Structure 1
């Protein structure tokens, strides 16, 4: 099997996003014109499967009020990977960044995570 390049992983992830991989409450608002919106949690888990490292959670603020959380990956000191950062509008400020241990079992968004993971692995030609 050929080695996976980060560019290949990124392309596979981005081409695997859909309304069905976002949170159910966001699904009616998802569009292909803004595909990264609300994909951060499942994307961070899939990248963690493929690359290891740490899961990072920050807070999203609008006008100083926390409106949501944002997830990304850290592979080592100074090496953060965030494939969904472009989802935020100028008024949405991501702050912080706390290491969150991966839960032993995915409960919330399990179906969305598994769907994204399976699509990405298929695009990368990996066994599930």
Structure 2
């Protein structure tokens, strides 16, 4: 019996660079698109970025509430815990002063494509896979 050959995973730094260079207004969460600018390209990219990293490396998806200074819920923030335990948050710099990320919880990823921001996720995944010259991960 022959073992399946799986392409080598890109180095995390290479994947991070591919993700950052692939962010754009058309990959931004619709809830944040009016706040997205080229000067703050990570704004609204956390969910799709976490999913693409999860496609590549597996691990856990982490989700936390984000609160405004006035005590209102501003939104939610996603990032990853990779196998081995390292947390990777490529979009943690998106927040403005007064926005506070709360402690995360692990979220089990549902089977199939995301219900929210599906088009943004597919665009980002396609761009990242092209930049890394890897086939699109199977979901």
With the shorter chain as reference, the TM-score category is: over 0.9
Match of 2:68 among 62, 73, 91: 62
CA distance in 2, matches of 1:68, 1:89: 13
Distance 2:118 2:9 in 1: 28
Structure 1 distance, partners of 2:64, 2:72, is 13
Q: 2:104 aligns with which of 88, 91, 97?
A: 97
- State the Cα RMSD in Å: 1.5
Give a deviation string over 1:32-87, Cα, whole Å, max 9, x none.
11000010000000000011000000110112322111000001465100000000
**CA deviations over 1:78-103 (Å, ceiling 9, x no partner):** 51000000001121000110000101
Q: Secondary structure at the match of 1:4?
A: coil
Runs of 5+ in structure 2 lacking a partner? Answer: 1-6
Aligned length: 128
Partners of 1:59 and 1:102 in 2: CA distance: 17
Show the 5 A alignment for 1:1-128. Answer: 3-63=9-69, 64-76=71-83, 78-105=85-112, 106-128=114-136
Structure 1 or 2: more strand by fraction = 1
Where do 4+ consecutive residues of structure 1 move more than 2 Å? 24-29
TM-score by length of 1: 0.93
Q: 1:23 to 1:34 in 2, by over 3 A?
A: same
- Greater gyration radius: 2
